[in-house]
Amino acid sequence: MPLRLHVVCKGFVAEIHGVDLSVAPDHRTAGALRDAARSYAVMVLRDQDIDYESFLRFAGMFGTAGRCDDISNLHEDGSIRVPTSLESRQAAGNALWHTDMPMLVAPPLAAMLLAQEIPATGGETQFADLAAALGALAPDMRRRLAKTNAVHELETIRRRMGLTDPGEIRGEYPPAEHPVVCLDPFSGRLSMLFGAHTSYFTGMSPEESSAMLDQLLRHSTQEEFVYTHRWRRYDLLMWNNRRVLHRVLPYGVATDRRRLWRAEVVGGRRPRRWPQSMRELFARF
């Protein structure tokens, strides 16, 4: 059956039908999926009751399949973790608007989740389109951001979650500095890179940095830029990590089971500033 695309949010989210990822996609299907990833920052494929190898094969179609984890509120024996455990408190950082691993020199290009167990209510995942949000900023602000870098650290998101013990917040990675306005390698469009890991913006005082981050988050997470995904079992959802912010909404973390497989697409180049002149940059909006 040929692949069919149902647009959920124009230029941002699409559901892809007619693909069974338990078998290796043929050339044409793989090409159509890669084309869709250039146009849509979030892709949803329903009813993918597939094994781990097939999940990784899907990730590998968009680059190098990287880290794989279980995102869950469960212990290995399947019992629900207490929310006060260190693991739970660190995982709670996913409730803040973030991009994944911006403290890497080359943050993942994309990430994906495959729902295994989902709570009856809550636990939706939200995505905010930073390319659209950038386009809607006032020209002066875009011009300012185009000349600004941001520094990102794991410790910062942990502090924002209320962790204070140095042993609990210590990050395993050094901080990384990236341009705020950078090219989305999937589409070639301009997007932004900031979120809950952002410690400060270069050339700004701590107060200015904090006000700038608040302002950017408020602007970019307005309803018009946000998609909320209500999970069904075996939904596979992939997001463009160089173009969206995401977060998980609350659910009964102490009582309801939630478990998703997670994979990443790595191996991209470091985030790049717009290489041409400012004039050309603004001609693109």
Q: Residue numbers of the site for ligand AKG (CB under 6 A)? A: 71, 94, 100, 111, 125, 246, 248, 262
Question: Is the CB of 146 or the CB of 231 nearer to ligand AKG?
Answer: 231
Question: Is the CB of 3 or the CB of 265 nearer to ligand AKG?
Answer: 265
Q: Considering the complex, what minimum distance in angstroms separates the CB of residue 146 from ligand AKG?
A: 27
Q: Considering the complex, what minimum distance in angstroms separates the CB of residue 203 from ligand AKG?
A: 29
Question: Is the CB of 181 or the CB of 248 nearer to ligand AKG?
Answer: 248
Helices (H), ranges, 92-221: 130-135, 139-146, 154-160, 166-169, 206-220
Q: Three-state SS for 102?
A: coil
Question: Is the CB of 216 or the CB of 260 nearer to ligand AKG?
Answer: 260
CA angle 65, 180, 184 (to 5 degrees): 40
Q: In angstroms, what is the C-alpha Rg of the chain?
A: 19
Please, are residues 149 and 202 in contact by the beta-carbon 8 Å criterion?
yes
Q: Which helix (H) or strand (E) holds 150?
A: strand 149-152
CA angle 128, 164, 174 (to 5 degrees): 65
Q: Considering the complex, what minimum distance in angstroms separates the CB of residue 202 from ligand AKG?
A: 25
How far are the Cα atoms of 3, 78, 130, 193, 240 from residue 197, in angstroms, in the given order? 37, 30, 16, 10, 17
Q: Considering the complex, what minimum distance in angstroms separates the CB of residue 285 from ligand AKG?
A: 29
Q: Considering the complex, what minimum distance in angstroms separates the CB of residue 262 from ligand AKG?
A: 5
Please, are residues 152 and 199 in contact by the beta-carbon 8 Å criterion?
yes
Question: Is the CB of 160 or the CB of 262 nearer to ligand AKG?
Answer: 262
Q: Considering the complex, what minimum distance in angstroms separates the CB of residue 263 from ligand AKG?
A: 10
Q: Which residues pair with 65 in a beta bridge?
A: 265
Question: Is the CB of 15 or the CB of 117 nearer to ligand AKG?
Answer: 117
